[in-house]
A and B are shown apart, each in its own frame.
Chain A
Amino acid sequence: MSLEQWQRAERLRVEIQEFCRSGMPSDILRKSSRHLMLNKDEYVRWMRALQSRGWAVGHWPREHGGLDWSALERFVFEDELARAGCPWVIPFGVKYVGPVIYTFGTEPQKRRFLPPIAATDQWWAQGYSEPGAGSDLAALRTAAELHGDHYIVNGQKCWTTYAQWADWMFCLVRTARDERVQNGISFLLIDLRSPGVTIRPVRTMDLCHHVNEVWLDNVRVPVENRVGEEGAGWKLAKFLLANERTYGAGVGEAWFALARLKTLAADMSCGGARLISNSGFHRRIDELELRVVALEALSYQALADMMSGAESSAEASMLKLRASEVYQDLIETTVDALGYAGIAYDPGTLHGEGPPPLGPDDAGGILRYHLYNRAATIYGGSSEIQRNIIAKSALGLQP
């Protein structure tokens, strides 16, 4: 990367730090930094606060309303927000489907969908996984049959995050049967207000409602809502998944969690002393810090490679693996530090009203996030799938 690219990214870093100090809605930061549940209105306000500076779509090309960010700026953006304990940047519109539409969509599709995505005027959901198609995504069976100028869609999607708030769902459907299962998949944009759409909440192990089952029963989708050629959906799906795995927030989240772990270990008492003076626990924290340092180094190395064009396809997989696994260990250690407050749980206090039954005011949120975060090594391509990708593409190992 060039000096100029580096300087641009550092200027952005300073602007974001300034935003986190003074521009960030403080009620939202209060909740997100305690891992509490945000509602739709809070997320929309958050995304719009980012977009008031053009940042929600900073990584988009200028011709579509973006800021032409480099990979480094994109990384710095998510990194700094996460370090400050901000909410995650809701990716479904701006990060996932937006780039698919400006890369593969028609001019009318770009005009229709990109502005409301950038402004978070529409909420998007991701219709990928199915009960029989998890790691083996290409085994999906939701079927779309063309009748005149409409597809008739039937099937079931699962683990659909925030479908309860969504206006639209981008969806992988099967439009043809082929010996090679990756063929015959198409990419549809489905209006979730259409007749025949049923959304059923699924509670996760944090006892909260993030994900849903989405049932599609003879849902009519105009043919102009297909992105890309019929049967070319797998190419779009892979393009999108590669974006999903660029995990800029991973490093910042890890530093945020590590900082909290340290203050907690300094605050909690342990038999007449502070927990941090327990040598075994202190060493666990130091070991974690070394892993975070390694994750950060790996991330910057990957960025340097990416920006000099030497990127290998395995890098996104490596970063996703390491970031998700380090984070799980960080938050598990934080739960340990909570002691007995780490086993008391009242989901009613996770929306910002009232303290948890025991411990500091973020104890409930830490527990909630520990539980929900078990999914981080499952969604977006499980750790097992990431290791398969690395085995194949970096090492040439075949099953």
Chain B
Amino acid sequence: MLRQSIERYTAEHYTFEGRWAALKSPRAYSEQAWSDYGHFGWLALRLPQESGGVAAGVRTTAPLMEAVGARLLLEPILASAIVGTGLILRRASADQKAQLLPKLADGTLKVAFAHQETLNAFSEDAISSEYRGGAVHGSKVAVLHADCANRLIVSARKRDVGGTVSLYIVDAVARGLRRQRFRLLDGRGAANLSFDGVEAEPLNASGAIDADQAAIAAALEEAIVASCSEALGAIRALNAATNQYLKSRKQFGRPIGANQALQHRMVEMHLLEQEVRALTLAAQRALSELEVGRTRIISGARAFTCSAARRIAAEAVQMHGGIGVSDELDVSHYYRRLMVLGTLFGNRECHFGRFAATCEAIGH
């Protein structure tokens, strides 16, 4: 039901041709589409009913994330509706929720999670930003959609409690906050942030001393699975485009897809897509159902998806030939989107390492 309405809306209102205006606008996304998503309730899938949501489980967002990949949506769905919202749901107090959730639901509030501090995508990032005297000091890099967010959720070490990493919310135009905005390879906005004593409010639901740290881990897990779903959507669309091109492009008097060498390569791409789909669905289930062995499934899915996405994107460009390299066709846009997805929330090596650590030692 949700899947059908998302597919219908995006097919009608988010065509590749129509998307250019949003891509080229200074905002780098479509304000109209964003407000439509809010209107349809797609930004509130995870919210409790009293905040205008449907209190759905973490898996419900999968069709939405697949559409983000399949239609190359530019709006801050992952940053705000999945990660930012996930952190607020887990760690905001009742008062904070009452204030923030309704605005997240209708899209008037956009949040981004400012967490990454170094360029390292190969392992979990160390946090050195600090919270002291009611203010955040430090810097963050390449924060997805921090260019357009109204509020930022910031991870920082709390000095007076032994340096535990905790979560704070700051206004995106607060004094002492510098935003260096730029575009990612796929055209989505991001920003580097520097906090020079920026007034910040702790996300202060009661909980254990490491509750924020646990919430970060859980929200990042959710983001990793969401990025698998997004990659799956992009891979499926890209394979469909390549397959169609093999049938329609004629050289030497026949469709290029009549060449067995190309047929076998296309079959390989299809197999990879099926594997990515199966692993992504397993990761979605693990997110809501598994306690033990989650990391194995989720990081395994992520590592496999990164490798498959890289091969599929390269083969799509290669089999399209010259037109695959042009910016005018969607193929190169999928290529760049999949490059971005291969780095956000840890690259292949990062997740392969986590997976490998779960493999049983040989000889035991």
Interface, chain A (partner B; CB < 8 A): 129, 132, 134-136, 139, 158-159, 202-205, 207, 268-272, 275, 278, 280-281, 328, 332, 335-336, 338-346, 357-359, 367, 371-372, 374-375, 377-379, 382-384, 387
Contact call B251/A359, Cβ cutoff below 8 A: no
A202-B328 contact in complex given A275-B122, A281-B349, A344-B142, C-beta closer than 8 Å? yes
Q: Which residue of B lies closest to A341 (CB)?
A: B119
CB proximity of A374 to chain B, nearest CB, Å: 5
Interchain nearest-CB distance for A263 vs B (Å):
15
Report whether B327 and A374 are in contact in the complex, using a CB–CB cutoff of 8 Å. Answer: no
Can you name 19 extra interface pairs (CB under 8 A) apart from A359-B119, A374-B317, A384-B261? Answer: A134-B322, A136-B251, A158-B322, A202-B326, A202-B328, A204-B332, A205-B327, A205-B335, A268-B119, A269-B120, A270-B120, A271-B124, A344-B182, A345-B182, A357-B180, A357-B192, A358-B119, A378-B324, A382-B318
Q: How far is the CB of B217 from chain A (nearest CB, A)?
A: 16
Residues of B within 8 A of A371 (CB): 332, 335-336
Given A346-B182, A374-B314: A203 and B328 within 8 A (CB)? yes
Residues of B with C-beta under 8 A to A134 = 251, 321-322
Most chain B beta carbons < 10 A, residue from A203, A205, A280, A357: A205
- Hey, which bits of chain B sit against chain A, CB under 8 A? 116, 118-126, 141-142, 180, 182-185, 190, 192, 250-252, 256, 259, 261-262, 310, 314, 317-318, 321-322, 324-328, 332, 335-336, 339-340, 343-344, 347, 349, 352-353
Chain A residues near B192: list those with CB within 8 A.
357-358
Q: A272 and B318: CB pair below 8 A?
A: no
Q: How far is the CA of A278 from the CA of B119 in the complex (A)?
A: 15
Would you list 9 pairs from A and B whose C-beta atoms are within 8 A, ordered by A residue? A134-B322, A202-B326, A340-B118, A342-B343, A343-B339, A358-B141, A358-B182, A374-B335, A375-B322
Nearest CB of chain B from residue A185's CB, rounded to whole Å: 16
Known contacts A205-B336, A268-B120; is A343 also within 8 Å of B184 by CB? yes
Q: A343-B339, A345-B185, A377-B318 are in contact. Are A358 and B142 (CB under 8 A)?
A: yes
Residues of A within 8 A of B180 (CB): 357
Q: Which residues of the other chain, B, contact A132 by a CB distance below 8 angstroms?
A: 250
Taking the nearest CB of chain A, how far is it from the CB of B129, in angstroms?
A: 16
A269 to chain B, nearest CB (A): 6
Minimum CB distance partner of B319 in chain A:
A384
**Given the interface contacts A343-B184, A358-B142, A367-B185, does A272 sit within 8 Å of B126 by beta carbon?**
yes
> How many Å lie between the Cα of A94 and that of B250 in the bound state?
33
A129-B322, A136-B251, A202-B328 in contact; A339/B122 too (CB < 8 A)? yes
Q: Give CA–CA (A271, B321) in the complex, Å.
A: 39
- A271 x B126 contact (CB < 8 A): yes
Asked if A383 meets B340 with Cβ closer than 8 Å, knowing A269-B120, A278-B349, A357-B182, the reply is no
Point out which of B259, B322, B343 has the most chain A C-beta atoms below 10 A from its C-beta. Answer: B322
Let me know if A374 and B120 touch, CB within 8 A: no
A336 to B327, CA, bound (A): 22
Docked Cα-Cα span, A275 to B180, in Å, equals 26
CB-nearest residue of chain B to A275: B122
User: In the complex, which residues of chain B have a beta carbon less than 8 angstroms from the beta carbon of A339?
Assistant: 118-122, 343, 347
| With known contacts A340-B343, A343-B184, A367-B185, A378–B318 Cβ distance under 8 A | yes
The 4 closest A-B pairs by CB, nearest first: A271-B123, A205-B332, A136-B251, A357-B182
Q: Given B126, B185, B325, which contacts A374 in the complex, CB threshold below 8 Å? A: B325
Q: Of B141, B262, B327, which one neighbours A203 at CB under 8 angstroms?
A: B327
Report the Cα distance A42→B332, complex, angstroms: 29
- Contact A204-B185, Cβ < 8 Å, known A136-B251, A343-B142, A378-B321: no
Separation of A275 and B350 alpha carbons in the complex (Å): 12
**Known A205-B325, A205-B336, A367-B185; contact A270-B318, beta-carbon cutoff 8 A:** no
Q: Which B residues lie within 8 Å of A204 (CB)?
A: 325-327, 332
Q: When chains A and B are docked, how far (Å) is the Cα of A332 from the Cα of B342?
A: 12
Chain B residues near A384: list those with CB within 8 A: 259, 261-262
**Alpha-carbon separation in the docked complex, A232 to B87 (Å):** 70
A379 vs B325: C-alpha distance when bound (angstroms): 11
Which residues from chain B contact A375 at a C-beta distance below 8 Å? 322, 325
In the complex formed, the residue of B with least CB distance to A335 is B339
For residue B68, give the distance in angstroms from its CB to the closest CB of chain A: 16
Task: List A contacts of B121 (CB < 8 A).
Answer: 339-340, 342
Given that A271-B123, A340-B141 are contacting pairs, would A379 and B322 also be in contact in the complex, using a CB cutoff of 8 Å? yes
Bound complex: CA of A377 vs CA of B317, how far in Å? 10
Q: Is the CB of A139 within 8 A of B251?
A: yes
Distance in Å from the Cβ of B266 to the closest Cβ of chain A? 13
Q: Could you tell me the distance in whole angstroms from the C-beta of B269 to the nearest C-beta in chain A?
A: 15
Chain A residues whose C-beta falls within 8 Å of the C-beta of B336 in the assembled complex: 205, 371
CB < 8 Å: which of B122, B317, B335, B344 contacts A281?
B122
Q: How far is the CA of A216 from the CA of B116 in the complex (A)?
A: 52
Is B317 in contact with A340, judged by CB distance below 8 angstroms?
A: no
Residues in A neighbouring B118, C-beta threshold 8 A = 269, 339-340
**Bound complex: CA A300 to CA B344 (Å):** 42
Q: How many Å lie between the Cα of A371 and that of B352 in the bound state? A: 25
Residue with the highest number of chain B CB atoms closer than 10 Å, among A203, A278, A332, A345 = A345
Task: Take A280-B349, A343-B185, A344-B184 as given contacts and tell me if A378 and B122 are in contact as well, using a CB distance cutoff of 8 Å.
Answer: no
Q: In the complex, are the beta carbons of B318 and A383 less than 8 A apart? A: yes
Chain B residues positioned under 8 Å from A345 (CB to CB): 182-185
Q: Are B327 and A207 in contact (CB under 8 A)?
A: yes
Are the C-beta atoms of B325 and A343 separated by less than 8 Å? no
Contact of A136 among B120, B252, B318, B343 (CB under 8 A): B252
B326→A203 contact, CB < 8 A: yes
CB distance from A330 to the nearest CB of B (A): 14
Contact A205 B326 (CB under 8 A): yes
> Smallest CB–CB gap between B21 and chain A, Å?
16
- CB-CB under 8 A from B142, the residues of chain A are 340-341, 343-344, 358
Please measure, in the bound complex, the distance between the C-alpha atom of A10 and the C-alpha atom of B174, giving whole angstroms: 64
Contacts of A342 in B (CB 8 A): 121, 339, 343
A378 engages B183 (CB within 8 Å): no
Determine if B124 and A382 form an interchain contact, defined as CB atoms under 8 angstroms apart.
Answer: no
Q: Given the complex of chains A and B, what is the CA–CA distance between A281 and B352 in angstroms?
A: 12
B251→A378 contact, CB < 8 A: no
Report the Cα distance A139→B253, complex, angstroms: 9
- How many whole Å from B281's CB to the nearest CB in chain A? 26
**B325, closest chain A residue (CB):** A375
Chain B residues within an 8 Å CB radius of A340 = 116, 118-121, 141-142, 343
- With a cutoff of 8 Å between Cβ atoms, the chain A residues found around residue B353 in the complex are 280
CB neighbours of A203 from chain B (8 A) = 326-328
Q: Which residues of B contact A205 (CB under 8 A)?
A: 317, 325-327, 332, 335-336
B122 near A344 with CB under 8 A, answer no
Instruction: Give Cα A64 to B322, complex, Å.
Output: 35
| Set of chain B residues within 8 Å of A129, measured between Cβ atoms | 322
Closest approach, in angstroms, between the C-beta of A245 and any C-beta of chain B?
17
